[in-house]
């Protein structure tokens, strides 16, 4: 099993190669979406909110204590 890490900031942790949009190819988004669908990549989710509670979601994210994604369902 291959392990992947995502990091943000000027200096990624040892063993992590920083990439960005300039490194992406035309099929990158499709490949990432398929890897998420298949379970090859897991996206940590801190909380899920229905669109009716978007204010609460934004407040949670703005507190900067979240270490993963906030999801808004439509």
Q: How many CB atoms are closer than 10 A to CB 36?
A: 12
Per-residue 3-state assignment (H helix, E strand, C coil) for 27-69: CHHHHHHHHHHHCCCCCCEEEEEEHHHHHHHHHHHHCCCCCCE
- Domain boundaries defined on the chain: 1-43, 44-74
Q: Give the model's pLDDT for residue 1.
A: 53
pLDDT at 3 over 70: no
Q: Are 48 and 24 in contact (CB under 8 A)?
A: no
Query: Can you read off the two tokens belonging to residue 9?
Result: 């900031």
Q: 26 in helix, strand or coil?
A: coil
Summarize pLDDT for 12-71 with one digit per residue, the tens: 677 766 777 777 788 888 988 898 899 888 888 888 999 999 999 999 888 877 778 889
């Amino acid at each position: 099993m291959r392990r992947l890490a995502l990091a943000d900031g000027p200096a990624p942790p040892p063993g992590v190669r920083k990439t960005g949009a300039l490194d992406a190819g035309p099929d990158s988004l499709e490949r990432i979406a398929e890897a998420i669908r298949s379970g090859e990549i897991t996206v940590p989710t801190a909380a899920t909110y229905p669109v009716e509670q978007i204010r609460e979601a934004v407040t949670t994210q703005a507190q900067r204590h979240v270490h993963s994604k906030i999801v808004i369902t439509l």
